[in-house]
Amino acid sequence: MINVLLVDDHELVRTGISRILKDERGIKVVGEASSGEEALQFCRDISTNHESPDVVLMDMQMPGIGGLNATKRILHYCPDIKILALSVSCEEPIPTKVLQLGASGFISKKAAPAEMVQAIKKVYSGQRYISDEVAQKIAMSKIQSSAENPFSELSDREMQIMLMITQGEKINDIAEKLNVSPKTVNSYRYRMFEKLKIDGDVELTHLAIRHRMINIS
């Protein structure tokens, strides 16, 4: 039996995926989380209140620490858990960064239910699974210049802070969630502005939308 934890900030999405997996033989949804923080707590909880997950289906774009940092932290504390990243946006460099952090796979939210089930089973067995759409984005990024997608120049931490800022989170809140000082967050923020050749958060958000790094629907 493959125990799965669903992580997405939209209850409707979690409910839909849960219904898909409910009728799938050999797969059991053992929990749901609406944020990266909740997912980390669920995976680290060694009590007998719930079954430990084998596979975490992790949304990449969530408020709080987000999918990237949640993936990094979960794999640090629970290296045997498999992370299958899920996102409505498959634009680079997010897929490459989460795979470099140790995720076992990446699929689009546009994927058919059968593909999602296949992906869960493959990563559980120790294989990697990358959906065709994501694989194509990764391949194309290798032959494109960074000028075409300036976000490829950002570090993992800068990417994480970028996603939090564009979701409307305040510097003090970001600092608290990342366990760093507001001064440290601002240092990353200004370094990011220099790399992207922009002057502020509004420009950052517009640039992220233009390069489809965030979903505004």
Q: What is the dihedral of CA 58, 63, 65, 71, to 10 degrees?
A: 10
Residue 63 located in a structural domain: yes
Q: In the chain, how many domains are there?
A: 2
Q: For residue 45, what pLDDT is reported?
A: 83
pTM of the model: 0.76
| Same-domain pairing of 94 and 200 | no
Domain with 24, as residue range(s), is 2-141
Give, for 130, the enclosing helix (H) or strand (E). Answer: strand 129-130
CATH at residue 19: 3.40.50.2300
| Same-domain pairing of 131 and 156 | no
Q: Which residues of the chain have pLDDT under 50?
A: none
Q: For residue 141, what pLDDT is reported?
A: 66
Nearest to 130 by CA among 166, 164, 148, 105: 105
Q: For residue 149, what pLDDT is reported?
A: 77
Q: Select from 141, 171, 193 the last residue of a domain.
A: 141
